[in-house]
Every structure is written in C-alpha cells, then in structure tokens.
A and B are shown apart, each in its own frame.
Chain A
Amino acid sequence: MGWRIRVVHETGYQYNAPVHESYNEVRLTPRSDGHQNVIVNRIETVPATRSYRYEDYWGSQVTAFDLHAPHTELLVTGTSVVETGDEVEPVRKATWEDLAGVAVRDRYTEMLEFTEYVSKDPALTEVASDIKRAHEPVDAVHAACRWVHEKMTYQAGTTGVHTSAPEALQAGKGVCQDFVHLSLVLLREMGVPSRYVSGYLLPRKDTGIGETVSGESHAWIEARTGGWWGYDPTNDMPIGRRHVWVAVGRDYNDVSPIKGIYSGGSAEALDVTVDMTRLA
C-alpha cells in the first residue's frame, strides 16, 4: 500500500531592477499513471498571473504564464497531493536480442540517442560493454546504476545545471541530475532505451503520518526492457512509495521544472524549497 503525500514546491527569482516583461514555463504538475494517482495540483504565482496549461511532446503538463507589470521578485508555488504506489518491479521481458532489433531501436530511438548532457565518453563506453557482457538486461540496468552510485559522491554545489555526464564523472561528485545523466549514458551505450524522470523524494523512510519534512526535487531513471520501470541511482534503490514523478524526457533539458526569459536587470534564483507531508 502506498502513501498519500502533499508536496509544496516553491521556487522563483529575485531581480536587481524591476522587470517589465517576463515569460515563463513551469513543469510542476505530477501525472497519474499505474504507479501514482494525482488527487490535486495547483500552481500559483506572486505576482498573480493567468496561466495557460498544455501537454508537451513528452506528455508532461506545462504551465505557462507571463508578467507585464514591473516586479522585482517572482515566486512560483506548485502544490500537489499524490497517492504513491508500492515498490516498482523490474520488467524482465526483453533479451539483448530483442533490444537490438529494429522494432525497438526505431520505436525508442529518442531514448537511445546521446544528448548534450547524456554525452558519449570513451571510458563510459568501456564500462558499459563490460557490464553488458556480464548481465541480462535488467541486471545490467541495476549494475550500471550501482556503478554510478559507487563512483560518485553526492555533494551539492560541485556541479551546475549545465554539467554533462562526463564532466560530472571527472569531478567524482554531483547531485541526482548528474547521477541520472551518467546512468543514462551507460544504459544507452548498452542499447537499453532509457529516460530521465524528474520528481520528488520524501527523504525519510520512517516519516510518520501528518509529519512535514523538508524534501527535495529529485531525479531518477526509467529503463525499457519490454516495459518501462524506474530505478533510483542516486540512492541505489527501487522506486517506491516515497517517489513522486512529474516529467520524463531525454535529459534534464526536456523536463526542467522552471524556465523563462525576461527583460531587465540580472536575476538571482531564489532558494528552492520542497515541503513534503505524509498525509496517509
């Protein structure tokens, strides 16, 4: 039985001079699927705006809004209540032969290609081929995530939004985004269709009902071995009742929670806070 979790995600910008025009898109709305059920989602901004929602190419819910009155601060709050599901089981259907077939390679071509962040690296190519040789697809996904987990130390501040997988590997440190990009490089090298999932993680396993904890904006991977299933390389654990997913894509670029352009002075991102409350 899963949990019912409330997520309050606050983010925004502060400007050193009044901004007269600003256009933004946020991806802060979890979607319902077999693993989770979204009960309510609301996105509010200060200053208040009239927002416009649409579903993007990857199936994520986008909320767009623009501001035209001068303002020096923009605050965006996404509030959701989500029922999460039990631990996700790997799908053991496809063999390496199936994955190498034209049908899979063509259908999931976008989830097999390298991108700016999920970029090729000779060292990683070698690691991937070693893992592939020794395992069946599902075990190879686990092994790849474990390899990343062992190589990398979780440390905020060493990498940025635009750090690519090979750069993160060189640093040896990073955040969930880097763990995921690295895992995706390995999986795509092996020919396993795989994608970036952005969402939230309730940090403590023993969170009691009614308790509010400071959570985090999180990311993990999904691999397709006859069916999609997720795994969390940052914590080396399966996706479970503490994970809430929001958007999927090829890499961070496709799912970035907030992006926008504005005219005027320079902007400073506000601290992101994610409060998570276990309701049931």
Chain B
Amino acid sequence: MFDAEGTVRSPYRALHDAIAPTAAADLTVRSEALDRAYLDQGITFSLSGKERPFPLDIVPRVISSTEWNKLQRGIVQRVKALEAFLADVYGDAQIVRDGVLPRRLITSCEHFKRSAHLLNPPNGVRIHVAGIDLVRDAEGTFRVLEDNLRNPSGVSYVMENRRTMARVFPDLFTRQRVRAVGDYSIHLLHALRAAAAPNVADPTVVVLTPGVYNSAYFEHSLLARQMGVELVEGRDLFCRENVVYMRTTEGEQRVDVVYRRIDDDFLDPLQFKPTSVLGVAGIMNAARAGNVVIANAVGNGVGDDKLVYTYVPDMIKYYLDEKPVIPNVSTFRCWLDGERGHVIDQLDELVLKPVEGSGGYGILFGPNASKKELTDARKAIREDPRGWIAQPVVQLSTVPTRVDDRLVPRHVDLRPFAVNDGEDVYVLPGGLTRVALPKGSLVVNSSQGGGSKDTWVLAPNRAPEAERELGQAGLTAAIGPVQAPAAEHCPELTIGQQQQQQQQGRDH
C-alpha cells in the first residue's frame, strides 16, 4: 500500500483518503459486521478438522488498471501455453520429441493420467477454469508461484467478499471505479456450454460435488445456483452405453457437460480407484466417445505439477514463441543433479516444497527449520529427488490488515481465476487475495490459518464502453438472459438483488 518513502501508492490513494478519516470506533463496528456476515451465511472452511469462518479483512487490496492489464495478458498467455502443453502430452508429445523437456518429467508425474491419452474434448479446451497463484516480490514484480489447473477453488470467496464489502462499506464503492466480479458464473456457464459437443443444441450442464462434507461445498452450491444448473453427486449420475444420464424425478435426463469438483482418482471407479463411490462409473469412456465433456479435463495435474511449473517459460517459448509476461519464481529442481547439490547445501536459506503438495502442507521454511527438520528434509530429497523443489524465500508484498483493532502490514498473495471458452480466455478482474495473519508468516493458505481480502481492480479512468464489464454485446447475446450491465461504481448490486430474490423464493 505504501511505497519506500512512506507515501501512499497511487492505486490506493482514494481508498486511503476514504479510510484515514474514519474513526477507529466506526472501523470496529464495520469490522464486526464483516465477521458476522460470514458466520451468518455459514461460509466456512476446515482448519485442522474444525470448521471456522474464512476471515475477511476490512482493508481491500487495490490493483491499478495498468498493473492489471499486464497481469491479465500474462495469465492469458500462460493458460494458452498450458492448454497447448496438455493437448500435446495427451497426444503426440511433440514437445518431448523435440527435446524441449524430458519424457520422464511427464511419465513420472503422479497426475499424468494414461487413461486420458488421445481423449480430445470437442472444442479442445481442457483448462476450463484455472487459478494462477501470483506473488509480488521485494522488487514489486509480480511472479507466478504456481498454476492450478485441476479444481481451483476460492472464486466463491471473491464474489462473497465483494458482496459483503459492498454492504458494509457502500460509501467506498461510490468513490472508486472498481471492476465487477459478480458475473463470474455467467462466464463459467458460457465456457461450459461452449465446451459441449457441437451437435448439442441446448447442452445440459451439471456441477458434480463430492457432497456436503467437502470443504468447498459452499462454492459448488453457489456456482450451481448462480449458473442455474443442477448440483449433483456421483450417485445422481450414471452411464449407459457411453452416455451420461442424471436421475431426476421426471426420469433420466441426458447430461452433456459435467463441471466436476472431485479429483481425478475418484471420478471413474472403472479407470481409477475402484472403491470410489463419489464418481460415475464409465464416464471416461463416455468422454472418449465424445458424449460428455468433463471440465476440467482429466489429467490436467500434469500441467500444474510444481516441477513441470519450472518448464512453463520453455512451453511459452515453444508453443507461442513469446516471452513470459509474468516470470516464475526462480526454482531449484532437486531431480537435476546440478541443482540438487545446491539445495542440500543451502537448505537453511530456501523454502522446500513437495511437487505434488497443495494447501501449504509439507512445506519447509529453511530459515525457521530446526537442525533435525533440515536433516530429515535432506534425507527425503536424496530418497525422492523428483518429489521436491526449492525456492528462495520470496518476501511477499504486504498490505495493511486489521489485527486486534490495529492496522498492521501482513503478507499477501493473489489467485486470479481464468475461464477458457475455447475462443477467449476471460480473467476475472481481481481474484482471491489471501493474507497470512500471524506476524511475519509467509504461508497464506486458508488451510494454514490465512484470511482473505476483497481485491479491487480499478477501471481505467476513461474506460471506453466496450472495455467495461458486461459491455460486450457478443457475450450477452450468446447466453441469453443476463443482468443489465452493472454500473461501474456499484457493481455488486445486481447480483445481490438476484440472490436475495432467490433466497426469498426458497423460504416460501
């Protein structure tokens, strides 16, 4: 928020001017209102087995339109390169033949699914939704920390954070030109419908959830509700002769696109874990036969493996012949003999991460680690070099955050969400800003006790009509019923009202 001289960075100026005169007591009242909002709605996640609300901080994270344009270009570029990569490795693997990356990099990846080989989705899209985790380092440069191409979650927090902030701080949104995030589901539905086989006139889309005990169940139900599609569990679906049907009170209904929020291993007991009851037996062959589209595609994990990540700049060069717009965090690969030695020697200055891990589990911070932890980690690296990467400690940027009634700097990251409909990659302006609440902590994962912030992408000062949210005629026409274009300064109103009506409808 502040630059090196202690003056307010320009994107934050209006926000600072608005908050600074606010009385501390008023802030407290509003902050309590924020906390209550989430408890009341039951938006929780699981921390060490206990459900608790996801703390929303009162100070938003602000990103200028220039900054955002660059990020957006970088994310689109990355998604396109990764799409090309996935199409390639589940096809001819030309990138391997050309020696850009070794075959064993792919075959040794746990998430490389051989049963997805030659399984080509109708419109070629495998990454319908991507979450690209970004951090801002000490120099102020945004870098990609990791790609999430399987089932990135968190977009519901982006929408809910905004809705709650708009309710508690309506005055802030009147002064700022904050770009809307509430229409995410429209883009998602559009992309999912576009993914269906070309000969289906009115595709049936469903959201497949593992069930109410999943930590992201709230998100599954929110997305299904906003898209106006059925939320189903595995037992609601079945395959017959390679067609997927949904059991409804009016009989069987054919399903064309399954937006599944369960992991590959549980999706099809015929191909993967035979004991899984969450999935749908035979769905892989239905997809192979072109009768259903699985979104995101099976086997995407080979593109977001943390070791494969280190080769993404090479992919961007190979497939797109471009330079990466957003650089990676420099990474040492323990499986390369030349880099492993360095990691083992310098482990106390590095962050060691398992390549398969997610949610911040299994990460070792070298500077904070005990002697025994370091020794154990070195042993683990030698035993399984493919399983580990190491990165220098990135001093994540900080944003003022309310802790115990005071605003103090806390480290943040950013997960923007991208939706690919096969023609364009849409990037939701903003994304999920996660904040590490303990002082000095660099681990922002919600599963490790992080909180979140509303993330504001400011609209350009003189935004032409066409660049504005929902101003694109093509999209509106393509989907049919959509909300009227939202006013730029108060973007959440339309969605909020719509949801209120739905909630009222449910009560009756």
Using CB atoms and an 8 Å cutoff, list the residues of chain A in contact with chain B. 21, 23, 25, 50, 52, 54-58, 64, 66, 68, 105-107, 109-110, 113, 259-261
Collect the chain B residues with CB atoms within 8 Å of residue A56's CB: 114-115, 117
Interface string of B118-133 (1 = CB under 8 A from A): 1000000000000000
Q: Which of A21, A55, A58, A261 is the most central at the interface, judged by chain B CB atoms within 10 Å of its CB?
A: A261
User: Can you list the 7 inter-chain pairs with the closest CB atoms, starting with the nearest?
Assistant: A57-B114, A109-B104, A57-B117, A23-B281, A23-B282, A23-B270, A64-B285
| Binary flags per residue of B253-274, CB closer than 8 Å to A gives 1, else 0 | 0000000000000000110001
How far does the alpha carbon of A161 sit from the alpha carbon of B118 in the complex, in Å?
A: 29
A-B contact pairs, 8 of them (CB 8 A): A52-B242, A58-B114, A64-B242, A64-B282, A66-B239, A66-B281, A66-B282, A261-B274
Contact B270 A25 (CB under 8 A): yes
Contact B281 A52, beta carbon cutoff 8 Å: no
Interface string of B94-113 (1 = CB under 8 A from A): 00000000111001100000
Contact call B269/A261, Cβ cutoff below 8 A: yes
Residue of A nearest to B242 (CB): A52
Asked whether, in the complex, the Cβ of A106 is within 8 Å of the Cβ of B238, the reply is no
Question: A residues within 8 A CB of B108?
Answer: 109, 113
Report the Cα distance A56→B114, complex, angstroms: 8
Mostly, the B contact residues are loop
Measured CB to CB, the nearest residue on chain A to B119 is A54
Which chain B positions have C-beta within 8 A of A57?
114-115, 117-118
Cβ–Cβ contact A260 & B270, under 8 A? yes
Contact A52 B118 (CB under 8 A): no
Closest chain A residue, CB of each to CB of B268: A23
A103, chain B: closest CB distance, angstroms: 10
> How many pairs of residues, A versus B, come closer than 8 Å at their CB atoms?
50
B241 within 8 A of A: yes
- Provide the residues of chain A in CB contact with B269, threshold 8 Å: 261
Indicate if B84 sits at the interface (CB-CB under 8 A).
no
Report how far A121 CA is from B239 CA in the complex, Å: 42
Which residue of chain B lies nearest to A109 when distances are taken between CB atoms in the complex?
A: B104
Residues of A within 8 A of B114 (CB): 56-58
A43 to chain B, nearest CB (A): 15
Residues in B with CB closer than 8 Å to A54 are: 118, 285, 288
| A25 proximity list for chain B (CB < 8 A) | 270
Partner of B240, one of A66, A105, A260, A261: A66
Contacts of B281 on A, CB cut-off 8 Å? Answer: 21, 23, 66, 261
Contacts of B377 in A (CB 8 A): none
Cβ of B107 and Cβ of A109 under 8 Å apart?
yes
Q: Is the CB of A52 within 8 A of B117?
A: no
Q: Cβ of B107: which chain A residues have Cβ within 8 Å of it?
A: 109-110
Residues of A within 8 A of B241 (CB): 50, 52, 66
B325 interface residue per 8 A CB criterion: no
Residue of A nearest to B269 (CB): A261
CA distance A52 to B118 in the complex (A): 15
Most buried by B among A23, A56, A109: A23
Q: Does A109 contact B103, Cβ atoms closer than 8 Å?
A: yes
Report B465-482 residues with CB < 8 Å from chain A CB: none
Chain B's closest residue to A49 (CB) is B241
Inter-chain contacts of B240 with A (CB < 8 A)? 66, 68
Whether B289 is near chain A, meaning CB under 8 Å from some CB there, is: yes
Q: Point out the residue from A58, A107, A261 that lies within 8 Å of B103, measured CB to CB.
A: A107
Nearest-neighbour CB distance to chain A for B298, whole angstroms, equals 13
Residue ID in chain B nearest A260 by CB atoms = B270
State whether B239 touches A23 (Cβ < 8 A).
yes
Which residue of chain B has the shortest Cβ distance to A103 in the bound complex?
B99
- Given contact pairs A21-B238, A64-B242, a sample of 9 additional A-B residue pairs in the complex whose CB atoms are under 8 Å apart: A25-B270, A52-B242, A52-B285, A54-B118, A54-B288, A56-B115, A56-B117, A57-B118, A66-B281
Closest to A65 in B: B241
Contacts of A107 in B (CB 8 A): 103
In the complex, chain A residues whose CB is within 8 Å of the CB of B103: 106-107, 109
Give the shortest distance, in Å, between B67 (CB) and chain A (any CB).
41
| Whole-angstrom CA separation of A52 from B270 in the bound complex | 14
CA distance A58 to B115 in the complex (A): 10
**With A and B bound together, what is the CA distance between A66 and B280 in angstroms?**
13
Which residue from A68, A109, A261 sits with its C-beta under 8 Å from B270? A261
Report the bound CA distance from A261 to B282 in whole Å: 10
What 1/0 flags go to B229-242 for Cβ under 8 Å of A?
Answer: 00000000011111
**Chain A minimum-CB-distance residue to B284:** A64
- The distance from the CB of A181 to the nearest CB of chain B, in whole angstroms, is 20
- The CA-CA distance from A154 to B115 in the complex, in Å, is 34
Which residues of chain B have C-beta atoms less than 8 A from A52's C-beta?
Answer: 241-242, 285, 289
- How far apart sit A107 and B93, CA to CA, in the bound complex (Å)? 12
Minimum CB–CB distance for B501 against chain A, Å: 40
CB distance from A48 to the nearest CB of B (A): 12
- A128 CB → nearest B CB, Å: 21
User: Measured between C-beta atoms, what is the minimum distance from A166 to chain B in Å?
Assistant: 20
The answer to whether B104 and A106 have CB atoms under 8 Å apart is: yes
Smallest CB separation, B443 vs chain A (Å):
34
| B contact residues around A68 at 8 Å (CB) | 240
- CB A51 to nearest CB in B, in angstroms, measures 9
What residues of chain A lie closer than 8 Å to B117, measured between beta carbons? 56-57
- Shortest CB–CB separation between residue B286 and chain A, in angstroms? 9
Smallest CB–CB gap between B86 and chain A, Å?
15
CB distance from B284 to the nearest CB of A (A): 9
Instruction: Return A187 CB to nearest CB of chain B, in Å.
Output: 18
Residues of chain A lying within 8 A (CB to CB) of residue B118: 54-55, 57
Nearest-CB residue, chain A, relative to B286? A52
A260 to B115, CA, bound (A): 15
Interfacial residues of chain B within 276-325, with CB under 8 A of chain A in the complex? 281-282, 285, 288-289
Q: Within the assembled complex, what's the spacing in Å between the Cα atoms of A54 and B120?
A: 13
Nearest chain A residue, comparing its CB with the CB of B116: A57
Docked pose: A28 CA to B282 CA in angstroms: 19
The answer for the CA separation of A64 and B107 in the assembled complex, in Å, is 25
Chain A residues lying within 8 Å of B270, measured Cβ to Cβ, are 23, 25, 259-261
- Which A residues are in CB contact (< 8 Å) with B239? 23, 66
Smallest CB separation, B272 vs chain A (Å): 11
* Nearest CB on B from A16, distance (A): 19
Tell me, rounded to whole Å, the shortest Cβ–Cβ distance linking A30 to chain B.
20
Expressed in whole angstroms, the Cα–Cα distance for A23 and B285 within the complex equals 11
Residue numbers in A under 8 Å from B274 (CB-CB): 261
